[in-house]
């Protein structure tokens, strides 16, 4: 790809879609009429270049218009934003949901990740191959196409698919419990929209994070306020920023995204930073296989997220908020956009909030299919219009974050906890759970569970109790293993399911709660298939920026394939030692958490003897939970 903008023009529909995102050209520097003053870098040119953060939304608009990012569309975007085509090409090719090669206008993305594999994903893919031909579409064909996809965040209703339709009126449709007939109907324009599932815990007393889910209309601000909405923000304004910070610190809340960093300490670091402006980012890019908790909150209780972000902004001095939502969550984006618009109309966002001298507004940014963008600094790069590659730390985001300014980053679950903390007080919140893990936790139970779904449980219950709450293992089968924490988590044996579900409890046995994934695997499951899918997932999702991860994830998968096939280089013990050495290198030398945890589940499966040496045979059945 050249550095110079080519001469190929966009189609009229592509131009309209892109200009709807970028607005009409304001100068010759961004595709308008040239004037004499435009012959040199002018204020107008600097303004155009400063809008690079709109690069990803513009590329997504082009993709939604034509089904791919054509050379003409890329040229138009580059001209409008004064971005060299080679750089824009690098961004466009970084994301799985964007294509720079011609692609069908109607596409089905079929999840073949961990939970869906247990519910018939391979049969679904074979059925679509019979109906539409090989993956990617028939050569030279103009009809719909299908592609395999990593986790779509619909694990509780697996197998899942996402159908995208490009054109003047682009449409996306999530399909759960997918069958070849159901996907074909969606490709033909038939079938119903995806919706939030009725949760197993619907109507239970004592729920905190999920107390409004299923009881409140997610599109109605009045309904949300009738259920106690915006009481926390009113209380926050009464407490003042220092009071809110004190309550959050006293609550001992830690991040729910996996790192478990103290939330109060992070908020205080941003609040006291003298550099301005401060940015607030809600990380809603939950792409960890097996995770769907944030999706449920965004779809079913979006106003809670908007209120929680406003409280956080008030406490830390942030004037601008961003919600970065994973690209596959169309319904979540729709619900959040509606909530933001309603809050603006009612004076709950904007130049003044609740009549107070507080200016805060929120912008949604949608990902485009990159697991790595769940890492906070990769997310910053994505918003800013660059490839979603992690940055070296330090400096940390509280000092140098989005657009080089102090930035507060929390995930959806963490932020929603803040509402209760501010409303009822930090010490009262800290009284629930354990000394080192306060409050409640959301667990994404899927796989071979009798009742898969999202469960809210206080810290301190055991994994066995959670499994029992989900109905145990389906069909009365025996439990073979549990994947705790997702692809970056740890396999546990049946003998370990009495572990206390808390940060300190899981740490004591060398495991991690991670993002709250609890994937049950019964005695019929081929664990080799699951482990190899994890290895291939990290191979594909590595951004490739650092050598330890880029090479290590490939070599890890290769070694596993040799062990499974019985074609080891040397003995099996030699190959297992090689996998351990690769794991150590990735942990020690990778830039970010992806490389540092890419071997965790693989290592646990090998060390605990859950995967055999030369054949794909399910492991010995353990006791029923």
- pLDDT for 96 equals 96
| pLDDT at res. 36 | 54
The pLDDT value given to residue 39 = 53
Question: Alpha helix locations (H) across 409-470?
Answer: 412-424, 426-430, 463-469
Is 192 exposed, middle or buried, given 0-12, 13-18 or 19+ CB atoms closer than 10 A? exposed
- Helix (H) or strand (E) run with residue 584 in it: helix 572-589
Residue 620 has pLDDT above 60, yes or no: no
Q: What is the mean pLDDT of residues 536-547?
A: 97
pLDDT tops 50 at residue 618: no
Least confident of 44-58, 178-192, 467-481: 44-58
Q: Output the pLDDT for position 273.
A: 98
pLDDT at position 617: 40
* pTM as predicted: 0.94
**Section 197-210 average pLDDT:** 79
Report whether pLDDT(490) > 80. Answer: yes
Across the chain, what does the average pLDDT equal? 92
DSSP one-letter string for 248-297: HHHHT-B-SSSS--BHHHHHHHHHT--SS-EEEEEEE---STT--HHHHH
Q: Which of 414, 194, 388 is nearest to 283 (CA)?
A: 414
Helix, strand counts (H, E) of the chain: 24, 13
| pLDDT number for residue 205 | 79
In this predicted structure, what is the pLDDT of residue 619?
40
User: Buried b / exposed e across 234-261, counting CB within 10 Å, b at 16+?
Assistant: ebbbebebeebbbbbbbbbbbbbbbebe
Chain segment 96-148, per-residue pLDDT in tens: 999 999 999 999 999 999 999 999 999 999 999 999 999 998 644 578 999 99
pLDDT at 604 over 90: yes
Percent of the chain with pLDDT over 70: 93
Least confident window among 18-27, 131-140, 285-294, 566-575: 131-140
Q: Strands 278-284 and 318-325: what pairing?
A: parallel
Q: Is the pLDDT of residue 595 over 90?
A: yes
β-sheet bridge partners, residue 518: 445, 484
pLDDT value at residue 40: 55
The shares of helix, strand and coil residues in the chain, as percent rounded to the nearest 5, are 45, 15, 40
Please state, in angstroms and rounded to a whole number, the distance separating the CA atoms of residues 404 and 618. Answer: 50
Confidence of residue 185 (pLDDT cuts 50, 70, 90): very high
């Amino acid at each position: 790809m050249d550095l110079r903008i080519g001469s190929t023009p966009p189609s009229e529909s592509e131009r309209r879609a892109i200009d709807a995102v970028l607005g009409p050209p304001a100068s010759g520097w961004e595709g308008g009429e040239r004037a004499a003053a435009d012959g040199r870098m002018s204020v107008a040119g600097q303004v155009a270049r400063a809008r690079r953060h709109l690069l990803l939304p513009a590329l997504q608009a082009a993709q939604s218009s034509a089904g791919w990012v054509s050379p003409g569309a890329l040229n138009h975007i580059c001209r409008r934003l004064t971005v060299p085509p080679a750089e824009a090409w690098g961004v466009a090719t970084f994301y799985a949901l964007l294509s720079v090669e011609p692609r069908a206008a109607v596409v089905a993305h079929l999840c073949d990740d961990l939970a869906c594999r247990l519910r018939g994903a391979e049969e679904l893919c074979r059925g679509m191959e019979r109906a539409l031909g090989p993956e990617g579409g028939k050569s030279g064909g103009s009809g719909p196409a299908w592609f395999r996809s990593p986790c779509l965040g619909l694990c509780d209703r697996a197998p899942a698919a996402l159908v995208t339709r490009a054109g003047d009126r682009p449409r996306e449709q999530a399909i759960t419990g997918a069958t070849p007939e159901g996907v074909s109907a969606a490709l033909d324009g038939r079938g119903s929209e995806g919706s939030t599932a009725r949760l197993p815990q619907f109507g239970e007393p004592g729920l905190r994070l999920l107390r409004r889910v299923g009881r409140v209309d997610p599109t109605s601000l009045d309904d949300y306020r009738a259920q106690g909405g915006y009481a926390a923000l009113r209380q926050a304004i009464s407490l003042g920023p220092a009071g809110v910070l004190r309550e959050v610190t006293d609550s001992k809340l830690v991040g729910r995204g996996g790192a478990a960093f103290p939330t109060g300490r992070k908020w205080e670091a941003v609040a006291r930073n003298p550099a301005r402006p401060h940015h607030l980012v809600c990380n809603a890019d939950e792409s960890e296989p097996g995770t769907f908790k944030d999706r449920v909150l965004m779809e079913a209780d979006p106003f809670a997220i908007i209120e929680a972000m406003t409280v956080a902004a008030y406490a830390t001095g942030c004037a601008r908020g961003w919600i970065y939502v994973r690209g596959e969550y169309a319904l979540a984006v729709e619900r959040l956009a509606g909530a933001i618009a309603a809050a603006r109309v009612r004076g709950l966002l904007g130049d003044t909030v609740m009549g107070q001298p507080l200016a805060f507004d929120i912008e949604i940014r949608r990902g485009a299919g990159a697991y790595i963008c769940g890492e906070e600094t990769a997310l910053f790069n994505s918003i800013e219009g660059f490839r979603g590659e992690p940055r070296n730390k330090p400096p940390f985001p509280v000092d140098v974050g989005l657009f080089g300014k102090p930035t507060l980053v929390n995930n959806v679950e963490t932020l929603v906890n803040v509402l209760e903390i501010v409303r009822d007080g930090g010490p009262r919140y800290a009284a629930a759970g354990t000394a080192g893990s306060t409050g409640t936790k959301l667990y994404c139970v899927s796989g071979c569970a009798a009742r898969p779904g999202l469960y809210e449980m206080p810290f301190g219950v055991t994994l066995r109790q959670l499994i029992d709450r989900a109905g145990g293992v389906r069909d009365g089968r025996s439990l073979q293993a549990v994947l705790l924490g997702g692809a970056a988590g740890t396999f546990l044996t049946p003998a370990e399911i009495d572990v206390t579900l808390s940060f300190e409890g899981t740490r004591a046995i060398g495991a991690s709660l991670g993002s709250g994934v609890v994937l049950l695997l019964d005695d019929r499951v081929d664990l080799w298939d699951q482990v190899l899918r994890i290895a291939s997932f990290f191979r594909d999702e590595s951004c490739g920026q650092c050598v330890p991860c880029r090479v290590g994830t490939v070599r890890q998968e290769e070694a596993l394939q040799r062990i499974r096939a019985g074609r080891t280089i040397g003995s099996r013990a030699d190959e297992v030692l090689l996998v351990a050495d690769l794991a150590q290198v990735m942990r020690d030398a990778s830039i970010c958490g992806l490389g540092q945890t890419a071997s965790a589940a693989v290592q646990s499966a090998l060390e605990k003897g859950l995967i055999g040496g030369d054949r794909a045979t399910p492991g010995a059945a353990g006791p029923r939970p």
